[in-house]
Structure 1
């Protein structure tokens, strides 16, 4: 039986491990963290990600863990509504769904542990790769253990150790946006209707919605320049509440002021966006953020990663079950990249275009004045343009279907 080592116990690594062991492939999954309760994990599943879970017959697991659907998207400019779009945006699709990753990952691991040929090593990092004649043949763990395998798959995120040790290059795209991610007490309006609300005044902007965690609003504050970033670290809870309130409609501004003490210390999310020219080297394949870290715009990371898993399973399972030679497996790595890369490139382009829309107002005073005067007069056109830009990011650019 061929053996696979997967580094990284996030959605990419865990779903891939489960898909492989269900099809008779021996898998060792290595996760550096001692549990799944990371400080920050993305929660947004778009129709493309929900469809990928359905293809993998994992939708029932989703029903057993905490989740919360979005009811709508709303944009507020200068404290006044610009437009609103109800979920689901497209006919015959599921609404964008927020899912709590830790219980999802734990449930998937429990499923995988039903198979004797699955091994889960948690709380120990991969330190290096083992090689024979320029081919990777396994991994060396931080505790000194060495584990041999026929292939090693790096699903260990944007700062992938597997990518670094394999000598695979990540070509980063220039970005001008970092974010501060806050949690604070929920407002009853978000319980009645969970609306992803984007608020801006032309210079400052944030998005707020009710996450999966009961009674908690999530708020992402955009940091668009170094001065903004530097000044943000010194603000008190009250000062942040005043900042949020200063560009919010009255009902939300009042909530921020009244619940200032509930604002938790923010997490700084440094945005890394890029693409590896090659996702593989002899014995190694990268998937998910390890191969193509995505912008946070429209929550694409988990969704495209799940689609990576389906394509990888389609190609790898027949070859591994047939005991294919190393050269054939390496060719399959190339086929996986060729199939997935066009969608990744296009979605990163769409994210970049969407990001430019948000950058125009802060950089152009004249444009801000025009938009504030005319936006509500042409909001139907703006709304339609926004909907059209979202569709391919929500549904995916290519058709992805599990075939094995």
Structure 2
């Protein structure tokens, strides 16, 4: 039996491992973190991601873990609502759903552990690649262990060690922003009507919504590339509450000020967007953020990664079961990239276009004045334009179906 080593037990690595072991492939999955709760993990599943889980037969698992649907998207400019769009949007049959990743990953690991040919190593980082005759033949762990493998798959995120050790290049887009990610006490209004609220005044902006975790609001404060903010650790909870409140409608401003003590220490998310010209080399394949880190706009990372998994399984499983030789396996890697790359390129373009919409106001004082003055008059047109731009980011650019 051919053996696969997967680095990274996020949604990409865990779902791929499960799909492979269910089809008789031996897998060792390695995760550097000692648990799934210590790092930031995106929660947004668009219809494309929900469909991918359905294709993999994993929809029922969502019902067993904390999750919450979004009810609407609302854009608030200068403390007034510009427009609102209810979920599901247009032809979508299901709304965007927020899922708590740690219990999702734990459930999927438990499913994979039902198979004797699955091994999970947690709390140990991959340090290097092993090679035989100029072909990658396994991984070396930080504790000195060496794991032989016919194929190594890097699903270890935007700072992928596998990508670095394999000498694969990531071409990054220019950085336009970073995010500060907060959690704080939920407002009952979000519990009853979970609206993803994008709030700004032309210079500052944040998004806030009720996450999958009960009783918690998630808030992402945008740090633009040219924004000079004082040392984050020196800003008090009360000062953050005042910042949030200063650009919020009155009911939400009151909530921030009254619940300042509940604001948790923010996580700074360094936004990296890019694409590897080649996702593979001899014996190695990159998937998900390791191959194409995505912008946080519209939560595309987890959704496109799940679609990567389906295409990989479609191409790789038949080759592995047929005991394909090394050259055939490498050609399969090329086919996977060829099928997935067009969607990734297009989604990143759409994210970039969406990002430009948010960059216009801070850079143009005259435009800000015009928009604030005419906001009510143009809201219908702006709403329609926004809906049209979301379609492919929600549904995917290409059709992806599990075939094996």
**Short-chain TM bin:** over 0.9
Tell whether the 8 Å contact from 2:70 to 2:194 is kept in structure 1 after alignment.
yes
Match for residue 164 of structure 1? 164
Gaps of 5+ in 2: none
Give 1:61's aligned residue: 61
CA contact (8 A) 2:280 2:334 kept: yes
Distance 1:225 1:233, change over 3 A: farther
**Paired position in structure 2 for 1:121:** 121
- C-alpha deviation, 1:93, in angstroms: 2.2
Partner of 1:200: 200
Distance 2:390 2:78 in 1: 23
User: 1:212, CA displacement in angstroms?
Assistant: 1.2
Instruction: Tell me the equivalent position of 1:185.
Output: 185
Residue 35 of structure 1 deviates from its aligned partner by 1.0
**SS class of match (1:103):** helix
Corresponding residue for residue 393 of structure 2? 393
Structure 1 partner of 2:347: 347
Distance 2:227 2:399 in 1: 43
CA distance in 2, matches of 1:112, 1:278: 29
Q: CA RMSD in A?
A: 0.9
Aligned to 2:142: 142
SS in 1 for 2:82: strand
With structure 1 as the length reference, what TM-score do the two structures score? 0.99
Matches within 5 A, 1:351-362: 351-362=351-362
Shift of 1:121: 0.7
Shift in Å, 1:378: 1.1
Aligned to 1:84: 84
Instruction: Provide the rounded CA distance (Å) in 2 between the counterparts of 1:225 and 1:328.
Output: 44
- Give the C-alpha shift of residue 92 in structure 1: 4.2
| Corresponding residue of 1:41 | 41
**Match of residue 216 from structure 1:** 216
Provide the C-alpha distance between the structure 1 equivalents of 2:29 and 2:86, rounded to a whole number of angstroms: 39
Q: Deviations over 1:262-297 (max 9, x none)?
A: 111111111000000000000000000000000000
- Higher mean C-alpha displacement, 340-349 vs 87-96: 87-96
> What residue is the counterpart of 1:270 in the other structure?
270
Give the SS at the match of 2:377. coil
Bigger drift between 252-261 and 275-284 goes to 252-261
Instruction: State the SS of the aligned residue for 1:128.
Output: strand
Deviation of 1:350 after TM superposition, in Å, equals: 0.4
What SS does the aligned partner of 2:180 have? strand
- CA positional deviation for 1:228: 3.1
Distance 2:168 2:147 in 1: 21
